[in-house]
Amino acid sequence: MSEMSVDSNAVDNLVDILRKWLIGGDDEDLVLDNVDGMAAAAAIKSLFRQAPAAGGLVKYGNNIVAIERNGKPDFPKGHIEKNESPEAAALREVEEETGMKKLSILRALPSTWHCYFFDSQWVLKKTYWYLMSSSSQNDFKPQSEEGITKVFMIDKDNVHAFLRDTYPSLSFVLAKDILEVLGVK
């Protein structure tokens, strides 16, 4: 097996670009074109603490279950615990944050990535998403200690408002799947 080498100058240059963008407070998107993948991975890893998470879009009748967390529409999700699989974490987090029982995973959905500044450090969060179902009648119970104030249903009538008001990474990556599940063309 041959070992891949990474050009340390390329990594250093990319780290400088990323650091300036991160601390610049600029709302503009950063687009990197023609960047070596290994250098990009090394640069990102050096600047960010990794925070893997998992969550679910629960198909419930003709609806999808959503939450409001800290005043923002979202889907239930949370951190993956040590030695926990993304699938197990997604099932656990959805149950904890919504009170739903008898959940099962139907299929994996695309993952989302976002970064944020927390505790004097940049954090890169990859969230693994799963389409789920529940085989029981559920009494929804928002997990208030996580800032969740309500559990609600997304349907054909309010899906576009949800996509507009939720986090851009969710709308951008999961809109196609959300619309497909709801039967919206």
CA–CA distance, 149 with 27 (Å, rounded to integer): 29
Which CATH code for domain 50-182?
3.90.79.10
Give the pLDDT score at 3: 44
CA proximity to 65, closest of 145, 127, 128, 158: 158
Q: What is the pLDDT of residues 38-60, one digit of tens each?
A: 777 777 778 889 999 999 999 99
The answer to whether the CB of 100 falls within 8 A of the CB of 141 is no
pTM of the model: 0.82
pLDDT of residue 4: 47
Q: Per-domain residue ranges for the chain? A: 8-47, 50-182
List pLDDT tens digits, range 11-35: 788 888 888 887 876 667 776 666 6
